């Protein structure tokens, strides 16, 4: 009889404790799996949002990525970028606080008005209606965020009146009439954010400024044969002193600053759950071996060698951890949905950002951690069983 | 309704400048008693090797085209801010007129009149909800909001719910662990239980014994956990404080948390003990002793 067969018979014989141990490992394993998803989830989700915009290079003002400051001479910079062979397309983005009012009288006193040169596909997803570039002839087409559209009770085709105010300027300019081209979901917009997008020209008219203001962000897409690294280098050569970042650099910067808490809490909790799973299986196996000392001594007495007994205990551990670990995956997915729902209630968080994101790496680490746990947990019971004095144990069992 | 009277409605006397928009250069101390005073954060002082009495040049743009000399009057520890604990606090505090002189656009007289925000302290903080719409109605275009957050709008309330959910899952795993352990223990003492039953000791007494044992194991485990948490509290705080260069306290084991742990663990112990022994004690006494 093989060690696996012996282990299988043992776990079947002690059904209640086996099922409870598997349940414990499954719950703890689910938590471990979730912490692995959390450790890089925000980063993957953030990278996905950046990639989805279709631009892989960002140029920002003096405030870096965290403080939004206008980029001096942004129109000329955009012209220079368009002439670079490494660059495929360029978009200028300017954001101003604004007031918006519907014809019904419903209004929002503080919305973020985003002006974009050309339709920056990917910055928002059209939920209904059409995109800005599919509203030809309309002097002020706008895309309104879902929550704002619901609050104002507006739909594509409706007219709204917008008044933008550059920071630090009190404006008495009359609002301009705009028509809703579509309702959108903004990649970096929060669930409750009031966001409106329009063309740069329309934003300029809404602000009432005498000349177009500088953009807060310049987006550039590199040509596929050049790549973002070459595009960044080319931009820095053409316009030294600009704050230029590839998406990878932006992600790395956020990885260092913004997401550190969740990465560290996931590290702490996954370490704790691993220790917990080890203690659980090691304790159960040790107590179980102590309970079966006579049985193990009898197996040894009828010729089953030390190695096979040790292998049997290793298989027992592998069965408990393996089955529990497998059950942990669907359980972990369900738990991740709930934990993600809780964390996404944070105010100001982009609606499409997720904390728990699956990647094959998490599955591989989960499996590796469980294998290590199974082996480590079986080590002490294996040592106890292999050093068992056969005659003395049998005698003690009979006399006892 | 009578208008509410703010007790103070002036722009803050000192402002915080973000280091990302400033260049700080230490100069050799010289006799410049007229230089306005500033405070620099401990982190900025360490980064720029500044000490009280040093003269520094601050510029409002990277080129340093608009700059002024200040004297470091002191070094301060920034108030720990849980919302910004990952940010390096490279900050300086100065009097508002000095900041206006530094950043105002000489070509735009109105730029000397603008401030980023005005902090208002109400005579009665409970009036905040009514004060905000009153102010907004009188001065259109102003965005006024209370500084205290509603529970639903508080990121720490969300983190709190997340931690509670994690604790619940850990507790579920721990309960399965305890239950499995108690089942083994009950099975181990099968013959002892049979003999005790034969001697006339009632099921109820034996169940009570098992329940007490469950409570004892769970309570001891909880107490051990609390002691471990107390012992590691300082270590965790020191690691995170060093990692983020902040005075923020990350972990604090309060008496209420300790009491909650014991109060949750004890009933779980009773349930685990009784559940594990139920199948054994429910059987006929002869089948327990395998007869």
Looking at the predicted structure, is the pLDDT value of residue A116 above 80? yes
Q: Which of A3-12, A164-173, A187-196, B116-125 is least confident?
A: A164-173
- Among A64, A55, A94, which residue's Cα sits nearest to residue A242? A64
Determine how β-strand B67-76 pairs with β-strand B37-41.
parallel
Average pLDDT for residues A140-153, to the nearest whole number? Answer: 88
Whether residue A323 has pLDDT greater than 90:
yes
Highest mean pLDDT among A119-133, A303-317, B174-188: A303-317
Residue A61 has pLDDT above 80, yes or no: no
Taking a C-beta distance cutoff of 8 angstroms, is the pair B207, B274 a contact? Answer: yes
Alpha-carbon gap, residue A380 to B7, rounded angstroms = 70
Residue A66 has pLDDT above 70, yes or no: no
Contact list in B for residue A37 (CB cut-off 8 A) is none
pLDDT average, residue stretch A126-146? 84
CB nearest to A347's CB, from B21, B86, B153: B153
Chain A residues 1-60 with CB within 8 Å of chain B: 14, 16-17, 20-21, 23-24, 27-28, 30-31
| Whether pTM exceeds 0.90 | no
Whether the CB of A110 is below 8 Å from some CB of chain B: the reply is yes
Percent residues over pLDDT 90 in chain A? 14
B86 vs A400, more confident: B86
Q: What residue in A sits closest to B156 (Cα-Cα)? A: A346
Nearest CA of chain B to the CA of A50: how many Å? 22
Q: Give the strand order in the sheet containing B91-95.
A: B14-18, B91-95, B37-41, B67-76, B55-59, B23-27
**pLDDT of residue A371 exceeding 80:** yes
User: Who among A28, A171, A269 is closest to B173 (CB)?
Assistant: A28
Confidence of residue B189 (pLDDT cuts 50, 70, 90): confident
Handedness of CA A260, A266, A271, A272 (dihedral sign): positive
CA–CA dist A185, B174 (Å, integer)? 42
Q: Does A371 touch chain B (CB under 8 A)?
A: no
- For residue A34, the model assigns a pLDDT of 92
> Is-contact A382 A310, C-beta < 8 A?
yes
Residues of chain B neighbouring A20 (CB-CB closer than 8 A): 176-177, 179-180, 183
Nearest-angstrom CA–CA distance, A191 and A187: 11
Q: What is the pLDDT of residue A331?
A: 95
Over residues A35-53, the pLDDT tens digits come to 999 888 888 888 888 888 7
Predicted confidence (pLDDT) per residue in B265-290, tens digit: 888 877 887 887 777 777 776 666 66
Q: Considering only CA atoms, which of B264, B235, B260 is closest in space to residue B250?
A: B235
- Select from B110, B155, B180 the residue whose CB has the most chain A CBs within 10 Å, as the one to mutate to test that interface: B180
Kindly tell me if the per-residue pLDDT of A250 is higher than 80: yes
Q: Which residue of B has its CA nearest to A163?
A: B141
Q: What is the tens place of the pLDDT at every residue in B208-259? A: 887 788 788 878 888 888 898 888 888 888 988 888 888 888 888 899 988 8
- Cβ contacts of B176 on chain A, cutoff 8 Å: 20-21, 23-24, 27
| Average pLDDT rounded to a whole number, residues A248-258 | 78
Query: Is pLDDT above 80 for B149?
Result: no
B86/A261 CB distance under 8 A = yes
Angle at A368 between CA A364 and CA A372, to 5 degrees: 170
Among B87, B143, B169, select the one facing A31 at the smallest CB separation. Answer: B169
CA–CA dist A378, A21 (Å, integer):
14
Whether B73 shows a pLDDT value over 90: the answer reads yes
Is the pLDDT assigned to residue A274 strictly greater than 80?
yes
Determine what percent of chain B is predicted with pLDDT higher than 90.
Answer: 9
With contact defined as beta carbons under 8 Å apart, do B71 and B53 qualify? yes
Give the H/E segment covering residue A125: strand A124-129
Can you tell me the distance from the alpha carbon of B253 to that of A399, in angstroms, rounded to the nearest whole number?
Answer: 51
CA triplet B176, B181, B182: central angle to 5 degrees? Answer: 100
Query: From CA A294, how far away is CA A395, in angstroms rounded?
Result: 9
Examine the pLDDT at A262 and tell me if it is beyond 90: no
What are the domain boundaries of chain B?
8-124, 152-288
Q: How far apart are CA B14 and CA A194, in angstroms?
A: 32
CA pair distance A174, A259, nearest whole angstrom? 42
Nearest to A84 by CA among A317, A242, A272: A242
What is the pLDDT, as a whole number, of residue B28? 47
């Amino acid at each position: 009889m093989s060690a696996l067969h012996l282990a299988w018979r043992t776990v079947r014989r002690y059904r209640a404790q086996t099922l409870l141990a598997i349940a414990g490992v499954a719950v703890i394993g689910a938590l471990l799996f979730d912490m692995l998803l959390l450790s890089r989830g925000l980063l993957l989700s953030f990278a996905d949002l950046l990639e989805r915009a279709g631009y892989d290079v960002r140029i920002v003002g003096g405030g870096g990525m965290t403080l939004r400051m206008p980029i001096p001479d942004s129109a000329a910079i955009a012209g220079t970028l368009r002439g670079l062979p490494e660059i495929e397309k360029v978009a200028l983005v300017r954001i101003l606080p604004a007031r918006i009012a519907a014809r019904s009288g419903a209004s929002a006193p503080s919305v973020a008005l985003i002006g974009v040169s050309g339709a920056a596909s990917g910055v928002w997803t059209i939920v209904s209606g059409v995109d800005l570039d599919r509203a030809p002839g309309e002097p002020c087409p706008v895309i309104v965020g879902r929550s704002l559209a619901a609050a104002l009770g507006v739909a594509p085709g409706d007219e709204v009146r917008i008044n933008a105010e550059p920071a630090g300027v009190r404006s008495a300019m009359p609002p301009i009439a705009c028509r809703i081209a579509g309702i959108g979901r903004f990649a970096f917009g929060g669930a409750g954010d009031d966001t409106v997008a329009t063309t740069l020209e329309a934003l300029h008219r809404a602000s009432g400024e005498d000349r177009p203001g500088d953009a807060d962000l310049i987006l550039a897409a590199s040509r596929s044969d050049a790549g973002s690294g070459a595009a960044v280098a080319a931009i820095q050569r053409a316009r030294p002193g600009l704050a230029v970042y590839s998406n990878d650099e932006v992600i790395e910067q956020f990885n260092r600053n913004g997401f550190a808490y969740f990465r560290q809490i996931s590290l702490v909790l996954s370490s704790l759950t691993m220790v917990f799973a080890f203690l659980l299986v090691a304790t159960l196996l040790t107590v179980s071996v102590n309970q079966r000392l006579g049985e193990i001594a009898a197996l040894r007495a009828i010729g089953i060698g030390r190695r096979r007994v040790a292998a049997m205990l290793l298989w027992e551990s592998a069965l408990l951890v393996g089955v529990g670990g497998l059950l942990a995956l669907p359980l972990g997915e369900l738990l991740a949905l709930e934990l993600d729902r809780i964390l996404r209630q944070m105010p100001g968080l982009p609606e499409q950002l997720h904390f728990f994101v699956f990647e094959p790496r998490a599955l591989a680490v989960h499996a590796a951690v469980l294998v290590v746990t199974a082996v480590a947990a079986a080590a002490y019971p294996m040592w106890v069983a292999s050093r068992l004095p056969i005659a003395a144990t049998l005698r003690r069992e009979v006399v006892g | 309704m009578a208008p509410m009277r703010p007790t103070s409605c002036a722009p803050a006397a000192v402002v915080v400048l973000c280091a990302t928009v400033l260049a700080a250069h230490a100069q050799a101390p010289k006799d410049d008693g007229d230089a306005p005073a500033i405070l620099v954060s401990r982190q900025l002082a360490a980064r720029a090797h500044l000490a009280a009495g040093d003269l520094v040049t601050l510029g409002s743009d990277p080129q340093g085209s608009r700059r002024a000399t200040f004297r470091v009057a002191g070094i301060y520890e920034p108030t720990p801010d849980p919302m910004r604990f990952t940010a390096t606090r490279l900050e300086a505090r100065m009097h508002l007129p000095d900041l206006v002189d530094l950043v105002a656009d000489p070509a735009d007289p109105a730029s000397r009149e603008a401030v980023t925000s005005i902090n208002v302290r109400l005579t009665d903080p409970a009036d905040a909800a009514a004060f905000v719409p009153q102010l907004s109605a009188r001065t259109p275009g102003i965005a006024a909001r209370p500084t205290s957050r509603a529970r639903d709008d508080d990121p720490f309330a969300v983190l709190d719910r997340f931690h509670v959910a994690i604790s619940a899952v850990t507790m579920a795993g721990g309960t399965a662990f305890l239950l499995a352990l108690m089942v083994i223990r009950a099975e181990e003492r099968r013959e002892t239980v049979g003999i005790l039953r034969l001697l006339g000791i009632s099921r109820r007494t034996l169940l009570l014994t098992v329940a007490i044992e469950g409570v004892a194991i769970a309570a001891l485990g909880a107490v051990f956990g609390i002691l471990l948490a107390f012992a590691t509290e300082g270590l965790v705080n020191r690691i995170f404080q060093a990692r983020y260069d902040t005075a923020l306290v990350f972990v604090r084991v309060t008496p209420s948390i300790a009491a909650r742990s014991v109060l949750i663990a004890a009933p779980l112990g009773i349930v685990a003990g009784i559940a594990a022994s139920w199948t054994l004690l429910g059987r006929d006494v002869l089948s327990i002793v395998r007869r």
